[in-house]
Chain A
Amino acid sequence: MQFMLLFSRQGKLRLQKWYVPLSDKEKKKITRELVQTVLARKPKMCSFLEWRDLKIVYKRYASLYFCCAIEDQDNELITLEIIHRYVELLDKYFGSVCELDIIFNFEKAYFILDEFLLGGEVQETSKKNVLKAIEQADLLQEC
């Protein structure tokens, strides 16, 4: 995976995870263009689109779009599973998660993602293990 973006229906960015080195300006440009492209899609269209030389896999959950950019040889269907797994993790952690949870606790969203993916690859396929790791880290936090 090259990057993952979470954004609202109004195009506001809620999370950005970049696994490739790009300048701030480039990141902003990509974000802007991609958000526009995805928001322009009609609701019944399929979850995949080709954009520049990447494959984009996106899925909308309530008011949030989860958008991943993968390479040509990556499997789109499994990327959908990755997105779904991430949402499940958030859901488990926050308890019936909604966009506001992610807005007000964006650091937590990052921490959870970092326990699930590393360097753009899946590191842990057990939901239990991921949540356990977060739990332990949370316990360590001092005041």
Chain B
Amino acid sequence: MHEEVSRGTPDLSYCLADPMRIRRASFPKLQSLRPEVSGFKKAEPGGPGRAGSHGGGGEREGPDEAPTPARPGTRKCWGERSGVETESRMVVTSLKLQDLIQEIRGAKTQAQERELIQKECAHIRASFRDGDPLQRHRQLAKLLYVHMLGYPAHFGQMECLKLIASPRFTDKRVGYLGAMLLLDERHDAHLLITNSIKNDLSQGIQPVQGLALCTLSTMGSAEMCRDLTTEVEKLLLQPSPYLRKKAILTAVHMIRKVPELSNVFLPHCAQLLHERHHGVLLGTITLITELCERSPAALRHFRKVVPQLVQILRTLVTTGYSIEHSISGVSDPFLQVQILRLLRILGRNHEESSETMNDLLAQVATNTDTGRNASNAVLFETVLTIMDIRSAAGLRVLAVNILGRFLLNSDKNTRYVALMSLLRLVQSDHSAVQRHRPTVVECLRETDVSLSRRALELSLALVNSSNIQAMTQELQAFLESCPPDLRADCASGILLAAERFAPTKRWHIDTILHVLTTAGSHVRDDAVANLTQLIGGAQELHSYSVRRLYSALAEDISQQPLVQVAAWCIGEYGDLLLEWSSEETEPLQVEEEEVLALLEKVLQSHMSLPATRGYALTALMKLSTRFHGDNNHIRQVVSIYGSCLDVELQQRAVEYNTLFRKYDHMRAAILEKMPLVERGGPQADEEGKESKAAAQLSEAAPVPTEPQASKLLDLLDLLDGPSGNAQHPPPLDPSPAGTLAHLLDLPCAPPSPAPIPNLKVFEREGVQLNLSFIRPPGISALLLITITATNSSGDDVTHFICQAAVPKSFQLQLQAPSGDTVPARGGLPITQLFRILNPNKAPLRLKLRLTYNHFGQSVQEIFEVNNLPVETWQ
């Protein structure tokens, strides 16, 4: 059914005979805003009037609620938008509000919208200047819409004043709305409406007075409030409840702005409390609340109405059921909540008042079901009041139980307020809250993170010595699955609780271990120190700890705190690790090599932080005294790191190397087990002991040395042939002072286990030279060769020097040898690392030159290494 579209005639859309008769385009999808309780109804597009009542379906009141408004012509008329509308728009000078809204919504881009609005605003401005005053309210309405979209509308402020001053109700309605939206106390203009408001308050008809009060209570500044006090007071006292309730709430606003006005309104409260009209009563309670919050004198004054308030609430709860004020069986929950709130303020810190309300509170608490949100709201307010006043112990327990019941409620919001409140109460009413611990722990499984966060805080607060083990179990389970932003809090919470309440040291260590494995990256920094401290102090548990840590480390080397602690432990108690203990349920057979390999893995892993590597290196070093095998492997690793790029690691490696070479006799003493550190004292630095000792032995920080040209053999003649000139390798100077070091610019590439077989390249009178090869996986051009010189003869080999030469396209770097002496009869061999870069992947050729003293003779050997495996250079 089409509606007649007016072309160019005065706007009929506000025609009062049919206020709801508004043209509307048919939109295919319209979603109903029907309250969710009653389910959704889809609005049908188009079609003639959806007559018939909508009031019946699913209202919460029940069957006998008021029918739909009987006003004639209320039914909306759905009409189709006529295509000719666009043409008619050209004829009319400015758009009707509905059309404007339509147009703006039709704009496809921001720019289009802006243009449209600018054009319209120009029209509106023009109309304000010299347009028809009867149309002014329409223009302002359009302006208000535009303002809501975010566009400036300050030029409409004066129009608001004019409209308010107009005698027509339509004008006033829109004018006051405009004042509330556009004017506020920052604008000087706002004072200009004071007079209009005054007139309207004193002489207007009721709806107009209502508008004025509403505006005053929304945007009234302090000056305005002062000016209009008398008028408002008068309205407070006249009989119509419609105006009284508005006047009372306006008074609330005025007192907020000008506290001195309390004196004006306070005397009337007593009278107003006798009102039966809910709106007036509600306003009065609000007013009294405001007065009491502002002034202790008022508070004292109003304590005497506590019995009256109790009576009002009691009546409301027991017999005051009225359909029009109730929500899901609860009588006027808004009023109940407000009264409870006032009672809270009056009963706070006041024994007598609290006592007066005790019974009532118990009654409300027990008689209200925890069904719907409305009743929960009342119960919640009751709980808040009970907890805040001087209530009997039994009542407090009742309150906590109500909160406990809330926690079981299926509604998330109820659970949320319960958790918040319990958190506030956990200190003061600990035992009462404890009773609900299982429910709280259940809430850890909430999907909504704001709830699980509260549940976590509350759970942690509920941990005590009797429930520590059960709680830790729950919290650990939570830690495994909780969202990342809660991890850190949970981890530190568990650790803290463990520290306070751990029943046994072993349990404590287990707990920390578990936290480290689950959420290692989220623990605080001092967790590592705490754990090492703890383990160090529990001597009987050394063996247990080191085993558990070893197993954990073997599984996962990514969690840094865990790795650090494990490395430390293995270093300290490595000997215990090898022992087989019959007590263990799962005996752990561990070989020395496995342990060393694991530590090496940690050292080499790219996941290891520099600090972690430090731990691992030191641990390796300590194992050289704890383990019984030969220390080749350890020495090897330690010497590799002597040229590491990380200064800290390099220093350590150098010092340890020195320890091996020069001060071997002191090594055991230096590396013996750590004494227990005093808690709270300076935290034991792992290398505190070692580095102090080592510092005395070695020289200062490494210094790059120049390649000693004079010592360099002219190896040019060694490698003739198509490959051309040999390079001059810069040999390192093994100066007797002990300071090694040559800062190589090659990165300390972690050597990876290579399947390339070792090669024996030289043997003479018991002196043997072996080469072992490593191709690190990340750098394909790099080859690491370790030469090992062994001596099975009867005489020592001294002054041993090895030099090497490679073809031109290669780069060769020699690291410091581990020494220059190989003692007789299988004494400690010398090892040295060669680094060869082979960017062209050319076939490797290697010539070695050895010089040493043996059997009183000086020996020199030069030879090319044959049978180099092809894997060394491909």
Contact = CB atoms under 8 A, between A and B. Distances in A.
Interface residues of A, number: 77
B31 A77 contact: no
A46 B450 CA distance: 8
Given A46-B412, A77-B417, A119-B250, A95 B54 contact: yes
Nearest to A124: B279
Given A61-B33, A62-B32, A91-B35, A96 B41 contact: yes
Interface in B195-224: 207, 210, 213-214, 217-219, 221
A75 B32 contact: no
A18 B338 CA distance: 22
Interface in B31-54: 31-36, 40-41, 43, 50, 54
Nearest to B185: A21
Interface in B52-74: 54-55, 66, 68-69, 71, 74
A81 B101 CA distance: 31
A143 B659 CA distance: 103
A40 interface: no
A143 B15 contact: yes
Interface residues of B, number: 94
B414 interface: yes
Given A104-B22, A137-B173, A99 B245 contact: no
* Most B C-beta atoms less than 10 A away, residue of A16, A42, A105: A105
Contacts of B35: 61, 84, 87-88, 91
A44 B98 contact: no
Nearest to B153: A24
A18 B384 CA distance: 28
A118 B24 contact: no
Contact of B282 (A47, A77, A123, A139): A123
Interface in B109-151: 141, 144-145, 148-150
Given A88-B35, A137-B207, A141-B14, A78 B381 contact: yes
Given A128-B66, A136-B207, A63 B43 contact: no
A142 B150 contact: no
Closest 5 CB pairs of A and B: A77-B377, A119-B217, A46-B412, A119-B253, A78-B377
15 contacts: A12-B149, A21-B185, A21-B186, A42-B448, A45-B448, A80-B413, A96-B43, A106-B144, A107-B177, A123-B246, A125-B335, A126-B325, A133-B207, A136-B207, A137-B169
Interface of B: 14-16, 19, 22, 24, 27, 30-36, 40-41, 43, 50, 54-55, 66, 68-69, 71, 74-76, 98, 101, 105, 141, 144-145, 148-150, 168-170, 173-174, 177, 180-181, 184-186, 207, 210, 213-214, 217-219, 221, 242, 245-246, 249-250, 252-253, 278-279, 282-283, 286, 324-325, 327, 332-335, 337-338, 341, 373-374, 376-377, 380-381, 384, 412-417, 447-448, 450-451
Given A98-B43, A119-B250, 17 more contacts: A15-B148, A16-B181, A45-B412, A81-B333, A91-B33, A94-B76, A95-B74, A98-B30, A107-B174, A118-B218, A122-B334, A123-B249, A123-B283, A127-B66, A137-B173, A141-B173, A143-B15
